[in-house]
Amino acid sequence: MPSGPRRSPAARSGERSPRGPASAPGRIRIIGGQWKRTPLDVSTVSGLRPTPDRVRETLFNWLGQSLDGWRCLDLFAGTGALGLEAASRGAFRVVMVERDRAACRSIADAMTRLSAGGRVELIEGDAQRALETLRRRGELPFDLIFLDPPFSGDWIERLWPDLETAVSRAGLVYVEAGRPMGDPPAGWRLERSGCAGQVHYHLLRRMEPTEELHHGESRLPRNL
């Protein structure tokens, strides 16, 4: 990775809770990279809330058009749009985690159509358990983690301690939430943020020790 640098439901660990307005079944598309314009199915899953095209476009403009060599993890994959977008733009390794079986089938179908199996892995299950599995396999840390949990509940607070060891030095976490995040956790810098309707989206970067001592000066990755 360059220096410096969704789904449904509380599901991930149990019962479902709404993630925002329910989405009708349909299709979205990969925006850029080698699979640009490839359609992705949106499963009929209660509370499934795909990241809007405009938000994804903004995010990947922040990150840069190429993610060559990056290792990315999507803990609430939903439609798979964020993880597949990262792979389309050159990410070396993408792991997507999704609990809902129907959503997993749609993601798996997309991976087959794209012949993405060599760089993309899908884990069906709970986000916290998936992190433990990846830890046991020695696959942590990742350069970029997508964190788009159900809006209801306290998923961000519950998962954040685990991210401390799941993100590389100067790594990035992308967060979607139903409200602005406020002050970032200690040791993290809010690099970018925006809002589209009910979706508040944020890009945070883990600060290195020297940066924590000089917090006033922003040091964006070269491609942000």
pLDDT, tens digit (0-9, with 9 covering 90-100), for 31-89 = 999 999 999 988 877 767 788 889 999 999 999 989 999 999 999 999 999 999 999 99
Q: How far apart are CA 221 and CA 224, in angstroms?
A: 5
Q: Is a pLDDT exceeding 50 seen at residue 214?
A: no
| Tens-digit pLDDT profile for residues 87-132 | 999 999 999 999 999 999 999 999 999 999 899 999 999 999 999 9
pLDDT on residue 219 = 37
How many residues are present in the chain?
224
pLDDT band at 150 (very low <50, low <70, confident <90, very high): confident
In a domain, 14, yes or no: no
In a domain, 186, yes or no: no
pLDDT on residue 124 = 97
Q: Is a pLDDT exceeding 90 seen at residue 15?
A: no
Beta bridge partners of 199: 196
Mean pLDDT of the chain: 83
Supply the pTM of this predicted model: 0.82
In a domain, 178, yes or no: no
Q: How many domains does the chain have?
A: 1
Q: Are strands 199-206 and 167-177 parallel, antiparallel or unpaired?
A: antiparallel
Beta bridge partners of 222: none
Q: How far apart are CA 197 and CA 209, in angstroms?
A: 36
Q: Is a pLDDT exceeding 80 seen at residue 195?
A: yes
Q: How far apart are CA 98 and CA 75, in angstroms?
A: 7
Average pLDDT over residues 188-214: 85
In a domain, 129, yes or no: yes
Domain with residue 141: its CATH number is 3.40.50.150
In a domain, 219, yes or no: no
pLDDT on residue 2 = 45
pLDDT on residue 210 = 64
The domain in which residue 131 lies consists of: 31-173+194-212
In a domain, 185, yes or no: no
pLDDT on residue 211 = 58
pLDDT on residue 43 = 81
116: enclosing H helix or E strand: none
Q: Is a pLDDT exceeding 50 seen at residue 23?
A: no
**Percentage above 90 pLDDT, the chain:** 62
Residues 6+ apart with CB under 8 A from 43: 25, 79, 100, 102, 103, 105, 106
Q: Where are the beta strands (DSSP E) in the chain?
A: 26-29, 39-42, 71-74, 93-98, 120-124, 142-147, 167-177, 188-196, 199-206
**Percentage above 70 pLDDT, the chain:** 81
Rounded to the nearest angstrom, the gap between the alpha carbon of residue 169 and the centroid of all alpha carbons in its chain is: 17
Is the backbone peptide bond immediately before 141 cis, with ω within 30 degrees of 0? yes
Q: How far apart are CA 201 and CA 191, in angstroms?
A: 11
In a domain, 85, yes or no: yes
What are the C-alpha distances in Å from 45 to residues 14, 52, 141, 167, 171? 15, 17, 30, 29, 31
Rounded to the nearest angstrom, the gap between the alpha carbon of residue 221 and the centroid of all alpha carbons in its chain is: 18
